[in-house]
Chains A and B, each alone.
Chain A
Amino acid sequence: MRVALFITCVNDTLFPGTGKAVVSLLRRLGCEVDFPAAQTCCGQMHVNTGYRAEGVRLARHFTEVFAGYEAVVAPSGSCAAMVREQYPKLAKPGSKGAAAIAEVVPRVYELSEFLIDVLKVEDVGAYFPHRVTYHPTCHSLRGLHLGDRPTRLLQHVRGLELVPLPGAEECCGFGGTFAVKNPAVSAAMGADKTRNILDTGAEVLCAADNSCLMHIGGTLSRQKTGVRTMHLAEILASTEEAQ
């Protein structure tokens, strides 16, 4: 199967390791991976901060870049939710833009959705001998309704001990520009999240979204907790040989 990787601008710029992990994971599972070079950003930051015109331009760019692919996979619940949930509201009904969106939207998948719903694998052959807790992230949970897909994948990773995170469904406090527009509340939410993470005794906090991990990880690191953050793709890409 030929898959277009939508890396997302945050991963592209700050977390290339996640992109490399997705490429190696999908290839291991027999997919042919393409990276359409013209891709940039889904427009979520602009739309959600109140800059709709800029966001619409980026959405149009996205639909042009990814038109015609059988499947578009994004290692970000939040960007996938932006495309699937918010794009249809951006274009005038009946317009050309609306048609372009309707064409591409059903083929955009978050990584764990693609693995479980399209490739129909739960055991991706990964090995990761560590104690891990999983933060489901809001847009994956309540936007895309990923449910237990990510944790089902993690449960099949050899050597991995998955410990439940108390208050897992609660927002970590990132919220895009919310983190800088409302820093006090964002930090208070982040502090409660990190306390719950520390209570699990996990070595690694995993999530399917690097933007949330950047906020939680930044807090964990500032507090010198020693807990690492890792994107789901990076754990799923780990194998015995690679260790």
Chain B
Amino acid sequence: MSSTFLGMPGDFPKNAEKAVQNSQLRYNLRKATHTIRGKRASVVGELPDWQELRAAGKAIKDHTLRNLDRYLVQLEESVTRAGGTVHWARDAAEANRIVAGLVKATGETEVVKVKSMATQEIELNQALAAEGITAYETDLAELIVQLGDDFPSHILVPAIHRNRSEIREIFLDKMPKVPDNLTDDPPALAEAARLHLRERFLKSKVAISGANFMVAETGTLVVLESEGNGRMCLTLPRTLISVVGIEKLLPTWRDLEVFLQLLPRSSTGERMNPYTSMWTGAVEGQEFHLVLLDNGRTDVLADEVGRQALRCIRCSACLNVCPVYERAGGHAYGSVYPGPIGAILTPQLRGMGSELDASLPYASSLCGACYEACPVAIDIPEVLVDLRAKAPHSAAERAGMKVAGWILNDHERLARAQRAATKLRKLVPKRLPGPLSAWTDTRDVPEIPEESFRDWWERNERA
């Protein structure tokens, strides 16, 4: 797998245009997002105190972020007390170096992985490969992505862009010992994956995970998953290495009560999560390492508006309700964090130096569906608008906006501009030139009226 999203080198609008033209992809995405959307809406709707839960989730996260320094030190103490070792990583390179070093120290060259966004973010698999270590993804969807030499396109369902017949082909092509008569029946596909993975679980001595939550008070890490494959990785191997973003912290065990309700309902649309694994330090005969990852997060924390993105619990509800994500697909965002959360997180973590990253804050119609769905009430439109003010703008756009601002700042100038437009009303072509052709490619332009409202009022009403 290459280390960057080479398949999608352009800016968001260009990537999205390609995706929109792929009717199979649009069908897959529409079907999948609408199904999860419906499930989420019904299990959220049945809780009368959902808004209170949501407010509690937001408050706990805000409190934690405000006191992050203190809680991180507390976590380190708790984990160490329980027999684990804590490592601090400033950026992706440092985290990868630490993990590769830990794996090498075990003498192993293969590791199994629990689905994790943080390790995707730092491109750990590629870094390990460069050190001669092979990482095997064990989450079914991650496995599909890895075998297909592909990129994840959704936080929860990384292979959402694939349908089952495509998955069958990937398995036949890339999975050793898969039966030739494999059908695209979901149970058959799951069985093939199970056989493939069981062998790995039993053989592997080292596992790598992320975590959904870390409890400062007890030093406990928590992973929520649906397949049980994560639990295999978390329990069987001798050495467990967890790479976790520093914002995944919760102060106390009791705080989990709120998040274990918010997350499954927002994420998979289930009342309760099927496999919730928790571990504190290491038991005898096993080793546990926690790598705490910054990688831009403290910079996000310094931004008064943008810092709310650190409340994110990666439930992907915002993706599933987003009309833009539904049509553009996850790859268009060029990052492991697609959809609305990606549009605010990626430019903050990576900056807006590239054309792609600078276009992400504009990858939204500001419809607000994400904010409404977000279980920790991240006002994504607010952050998007704030990032737009910081994004680089083209000289032509700046000039146009300046002129528009100048006209709109004075009602007499506006009236003169309106009268000029009225004079030209018959000359407006059906297809507009330049950037405005983007409008007329698919839409007619409204007719310019004979008289603006203000001129009508002046003529008829002004006493």
Contacts and interface: CB of A to CB of B under 8 A. Distances in A.
Contacts of A138: 365-369
A54 interface: yes
A52 interface: yes
A40 B368 contact: no
A83 B157 CA distance: 38
A64 to B, nearest CB: 12
Interface stretch (A153-161, A184-192, A195-203): A184-192
B439 A175 contact: no
Contacts, number: 188
Given A48-B388, A89-B382, A176 B366 contact: yes
Interface string A124-139: 0000000000000011
Interface in B405-463: 405, 408-411, 414, 418, 421, 435-436, 438-439, 441-446, 448-449, 451-454, 456-458, 461-462
Interface string B342-379: 00000000000000000001111111110110000000
B296 interface: no
B20 interface: yes
Given A41-B408, A142-B371, A175-B367, A190 B456 contact: no
B147 interface: no
A231 B12 CA distance: 33
A67 B388 CA distance: 30
B327 interface: yes
Interface stretch (A97-105, A107-115, A216-224, A232-240): A216-224
B365 A173 contact: yes
A47 B16 CA distance: 24
B366 A175 contact: yes
B429 to A, nearest CB: 14
A182 B438 CA distance: 8
Contacts of B453: 7, 11-13, 15-16, 19-20
B369 A142 contact: yes
Interface string A1-22: 0000001010111111101100
B189 interface: no
Contacts of A13: 414, 418, 421, 448, 452-453
Contact count band on B: 35 or more
A173 B452 contact: no
A52 B305 CA distance: 14
B20 A184 contact: yes
Nearest to A8: B453
Contacts of A11: 453
Contact of A218 (B324, B389, B446, B454): B446
Contact of A186 (B12, B365, B391, B451): B365
12 contacts: A12-B414, A15-B446, A15-B449, A23-B461, A37-B458, A57-B409, A171-B369, A183-B13, A183-B439, A187-B442, A188-B20, A189-B327
Interface of B: 12-13, 16-17, 20-21, 26, 323-324, 327-328, 361-369, 371-372, 382, 385, 388-391, 393, 401-402, 404-405, 408-411, 414, 418, 421, 435-436, 438-439, 441-446, 448-449, 451-454, 456-458, 461-462
- 5 smallest beta-carbon distances between A and B, as pairs: A175-B365, A218-B443, A50-B388, A54-B405, A171-B367
